[in-house]
Amino acid sequence: MHQNKVSILSTRPIDESLIEEAKRLNIETDVLSFIETEAIHTIEVQQEIENAFLHSAAVVFTSMNAVEAVADELQEQQPDWRIYSIGNTTQKLAKKYFGEGSIAGTANSAAELAELIVEEGYDDEVIFFCGDQRRDELPDILRNNDIEVNEIVVYETVAVPHKLNKQYHGILFFSPSAVDSFFSNNKVKEQTVLFAIGNTTANAIKKFSNNKIIISDKPGKENLAGKMMEYFS
108-146 pLDDT, tens per residue?
889 999 999 999 988 899 999 999 988 899 999 999 999
Domain ranges of the chain: 6-34+162-232, 38-157
d(CA 206, CA 55): 42
d(CA 140, CA 77): 31
Work out the percent of the chain whose per-residue pLDDT is above 90: 84
**Topology alike, domains 6-34+162-232 and 38-157:** yes
Q: Give the mean model confidence (pLDDT) for residues 48-67.
A: 95
In the predicted structure, residue 3 carries a pLDDT above the cut 60: no
136-194 pLDDT, tens per residue?
999 999 999 999 999 999 999 999 999 999 999 999 999 899 999 999 999 999 999 99
Up-side HSE of residue 49: CA atoms within 13 Å toward CB?
25
The answer to whether 29 touches 10, Cβ cutoff 8 Å, is: yes
Mean per-residue pLDDT of the chain: 93
Query: What pLDDT score was predicted for residue 217?
Result: 83
In the predicted structure, residue 223 carries a pLDDT above the cut 50: yes
Alpha helices in the chain (DSSP H): 16-24, 43-53, 64-71, 89-98, 110-120, 137-144, 176-183, 199-206, 221-232
Query: What pLDDT score was predicted for residue 88?
Result: 79
| Predicted structure pTM score | 0.81
CATH 3.40.50.10090 fits 6-34+162-232, yes or no: yes
The answer to whether 199 touches 220, Cβ cutoff 8 Å, is: no
Say which CATH class 38-157 falls into.
alpha beta
Q: Give the mean model confidence (pLDDT) for residues 84-93.
A: 90
d(CA 218, CA 38): 25
d(CA 138, CA 176): 16
Q: In what order do the strands lie in the sheet with 81-86?
A: 35-39, 148-159, 125-131, 57-61, 81-86, 103-107
Confidence of residue 205 (pLDDT cuts 50, 70, 90): very high
Q: Which DSSP state fits 99?
A: -
